[in-house]
Every structure is written in structure tokens, then in C-alpha cells.
Structure 1
Amino acid sequence: MIRVWTVKHPWLVPGFWVSMLLIEGQSCSFLIDSAVKGAVDATLAPFLRERRIPWSAVRQVLNSHSHSDHVECNAQLRELTGAVFSIHRNGADSLRASGFIPDRELADGDEVYDGDVCVRVIHTPGHSADSICILEPETGTLFTGDAVQGCGSDNIGLPLYDSPVAYRASLERIRRLCASGEVRRMVLGHPERPSNGEIEQPELLPFLDLCIETADNCMRTAEELLKRNPQTEKAELRDVLLARFGGSASLTWPELSYNTAEALLRALRS
């Protein structure tokens, strides 16, 4: 029997976290993402101790993408577990540049087997070129990392992506997967509005429809501004997007919303 656990490491501000996914089989366990510095000692180690899962049982670690808040504990976990570390091939060079050498480079459709655990890799670029989702088929759990952004987090205010076209296409692909019945539960890398970061049936399709609607609204807004002023800068677009779609909370990382505005302008001007 496979058991799947969401491990949430509190981060930055109250109510915000970065997640890891532990897939526990009879003979071994997989971990998806390693989170930020301090997460292993403060959150993951106590979690494993409580369930009497030894470090040696963690035989595979997969990174959903190479952004630092999802990989910073890789080196520590390698020392503790001796696990095989994998990342999509588009993120392998970034991981190497940080000083960590992955053992395996993944591609869309790959399956990772170990003992009685098997997961499938789904390449879902948009947030980043190397973003993947990991599907555990027995429980129907899909870990999305940052590939699914909802309406954006309270920290940033907007969905965060570097390619709006790829991001929307990935959302459509994930929606089709959920509509097929293969996915019964979706776990995000962070609590993206309006979710708590974990979405169950029957809310999967409505949530993904909201993600797609939000992406479309951001693109339409950028198109409107460029039509009125072809010289529109990212700061102006970002301010308009936040005013329309950014929620009411104070932003911890307001500067990151510039990335989405820049990505939209780049796509429309290309």
C-alpha cells in the first residue's frame, strides 16, 4: 500500500509555506522537493521520526524545478539518505551551477521506479522551463510544485511565470489529466490563492478553470495596455495587474510580480 504525505515547512510569514511530498511504500520512500535551508532539521526530520521512517528508506528525491526554495536542502539530504536525485533536463545545468550534481535528468513521460513505488513525470513548463508535475498513480496524487499558480500567492500577488503561453498550455494539459480521472488530489508547492495548497475532487476542475481564467485575464490586460500604448513598460503593466487581480494582502515579494509583467510583454512583442 502506498501512502502519500504533504510536508509543509513554514516559511517567511505566518500562513505561508513551501511543501515537500513524501511517498511512502512498503520497501522505500520517495521525496519530491527538498525545500529551503532549515526545512530538513525543523520540519522533515521530526515528520519522519514520528512515522518511524529512517533516512535510509528515502531512496529517490525528485526536484519539481530548480528554483532555490525547492532545492536548497538537496546536499544535506544526499548526505543523510544516499538517495538518487533527479530533475528535468532543462533544470540540470542550473542545479549544477549551484554546486549540486543531479544523478538523473528527467524527460516528459519518464517513470521513476524503486521498490514498490513508481511515479510518472509530466513536463509542465511555464512557471519555469524545467517545471514538472509528479503523478503517483495508486493514490491519484499530483504534485505540481510551482506549475500551478492559482491567482498567485499573497506574497507575490500574481501568478508567477516566465512564459505565459507555455504556462497556459501546461494548465490545459493538467486539466485534461484531472478530467480523465487519473488525478484525484493535487498538491501545490505553496498556498496559491484561493486554495490552501491541497485540492481534492470535486474541486480540481473548478480550481484549474480559475487558473486558466486568471492567466487569460492577465494576458488580455497586457494586450489592452499595449494597444493603447505600444511603449508600455513592465512597471505600468505590473501595477495595473496588481490593482485588478492582486488581492488585498500586503505583499512580501512585490518585486517578483515584475517577472510576470515582463514575461507577458515579451510574449506579446515577440
Structure 2
Amino acid sequence: MVTSLDPMSTTAPWQVLTCNNPSPMTLEGTNTYLLGAAGADDVVVVDPGPADHPEHLQAILDATSHRSVQQILITHRHADHLGAAAALADLTGAPVRSLDPELCRSPRLGRGEARNSSPAPLRDGERISVGGVDLEVLHTPGHTADSVCFWLPQHRVMLTGDTILGRGTSMVDYPDGTLADYFATLARLQSYGDVPLLPGHGSQQPDLAAAAARYEAQRRQRLDQLHQLRRKHPDHSPAQLAELIYGPRPGVQQPVILQLINAQLDYLTS
């Protein structure tokens, strides 16, 4: 489960390593992507995974042992994507870059000393070329405020992090993430058309625009459902509304359900 080549193409310039951290939120586990053309000396690591899975960190090191890791890129702040970044940076000498400056860090040098300056944060529209692969950074807030996707224009494929998953739907981590931002992000992703997507959890999907449209339709259906319930039960608390919509035994933890409801209520009342 730790290592697998992406089946989309035998010549695809990416490899996906799936961490053994399955759960209702992470599906089969967190996907780490290694970006670099076959035979290239350099590679980029996207989302090195959680901190408490040394076997996954070792799998990344093994898979990049004949290459130089140039950058470690983070799609968003959640620990199942970011946790191993500091250790990987120190072991490879590569900087960690995120949209959030607070998450960027330089590798430690000898005797535990860090470099004086942090690497520049990612920015929307930035283009990065490493290992024969070009990628463009898209700021795609909604799941979290700092979420980004990575567009590979040469290969017309999108790395979506947790913005769109391999199956099911993604959460809005309210109040950091908002539905207003998420709808804008989904509209932006739909503009890329029927290109493949590589998610942060789950398997690749063949049609980014269709997946984004499906996410939008599901969210708007929930909003309509919540709107009708609020009219019928104006005195209900968010927890009571959540139980009416998701049932007494939802498939995810109650705090997550309340985040979803509060994100929807914020959207309806803003």
C-alpha cells in the first residue's frame, strides 16, 4: 500500500505513494506525489504525509534515493499532509513551501542550525519547473483558506489536494474555510474542462470539470435542504439541524458535521 506507480500512464512524470493512514476522512490514506520526468535528476515532493508514519517517510526517501529533492510543496495545512515535511526537509535538504508563510521552512543544517531565511511562500499563478516538469500554483480556498492545487500544463492534469477527493466529498474546515470561497474555487476548476485529477486521498478521477460540478451541485442541494429545515424549525440549534440532515449516527465525527452545518449557515446568512 505504501508505494505504487500511477496507472494513468507508464510514462507519466509522477509517482504516487499512499500512506497507510486510512480513515473515514483520509479514505485509503494520504497520497504523496513525486513529480519528475523519467531519468531526471531532480524531483518535487507534494504532501509528504503525516508525522507519525516513519515507514511512509522511508518510502519517500527510497523512491527519491537516486534523485535530488528540490522542493517540498504542501497543498494545505492539515497534519495528514504536512506532518512529515520538517523531517523530510532535514533529511533531503529541500525547502518546504506552502501558501501560508508560517508553514514554510528551510532544512536544518549541521548541529541542528536552521538556515537564516525561510523560503518564499507559494503564490497564485506561480510557475515552477523542476525535473522536466512544469507546474502552476492555483490558490483554491474553501476546504481551508490556504488550499492550493497544482496544474501540470504539459500533461493537462490537476493535483487537487483535499479540494476534490478521489471519491465522496471534501469538508469545509469552517471558519478557516468558507462555502463562498469553495464555490468560487469549484467554478475555477470547472474552467479546466474534462482533464484528469490526482487527489490527496483516493484514486485519480478522469474529469475535473465533472467532479467540480458534482461537488457544487451536492453543496447547493444541502444548502436548499438546510434552508427549508430552518424555515420549518426556526428555533433548532446547529446540532439539531445537523441530526435532521445527517442522522443520529453520521459516518464522520460530530465536530466535523457541526463544521459543515455552521459553514452552510454562515453562507445562508451572509
Q: Which residue of 1 aligns with 2:268?
A: 268
Change (3 A) 1:159 1:218: farther
Shift of 1:114: 3.2
Say whether residues 1:106 and 2:137 are aligned partners.
no
1:43 corresponds in structure 2 to 56
Q: Indicate whether 1:236 and 2:251 are aligned.
A: no
**In the superposition, relative to structure 1, how do residues 79 and 43 fare at CA in structure 2: closer, same or farther (>3 Å)?**
same
Cα pair distance change 1:121/1:209, threshold 3 Å: same
Counting matched residue pairs gives: 243
Correspondent of 1:208 among 184, 200, 212: 212
Identical-residue share of aligned pairs (%): 23
Do the aligned residues in 1 keep the contact of 2:192 with 2:209 (CA within 8 Å)? no
**1:163 to partner: Cα distance:** 0.8
Q: Matches of 1:48 and 1:152 in 2, distance apart?
A: 31
Identify which of 27, 51, 62 aligns with 2:73: 62
Q: For residues 66 and 234 of structure 2, what CA distance do their matches in structure 1 show?
A: 56
By relative contact order (CA 8 Å, sep 6+), the higher-ranking structure is: 1
Amino acid across the alignment from 2:160 = T
Consecutive unaligned residues in structure 1, runs of 5 or more = 192-196
Q: Contact 1:150–1:159 at 8 Å: present in 2 too? A: no
Describe the shift of the 1:108–1:48 C-alpha distance in structure 2 as closer, same or farther (beyond 3 A). same
* 1:131 equivalent among 147, 156, 166: 147
> Which of 74, 85, 92 matches 1:81?
92
Q: How far has the Cα of 1:120 moved from its partner?
A: 0.4
Q: Following TM superposition, by how much is the alpha carbon of 1:230 offset from its aligned partner in structure 2, in angstroms?
A: 3.9
Return the structure number with greater helix share: 1
Unaligned runs of 5+ in 2: 1-10, 106-113
Following superposition, the deviation at residue 44 of structure 1 comes to: 4.5
C-alpha distance 115-9 of structure 1, shift in aligned 2 (>3 A): closer
C-alpha separation in 2, matches of 1:169 and 1:210? 14
Deviation of the 1:219 alpha carbon: 1.4
Check 1:175–1:22 CA distance in 2 against 1; reply closer, same or farther (3 A cut): same
Q: Is the 8 A contact 1:63 1:70 kept in 2?
A: yes
| 1:7 counterpart = 2:23 | no
**Structure number with higher strand proportion:** 1
Residues 264, 11 of structure 1: alpha-carbon distance in 2 compared, 3 angstrom cutoff: same
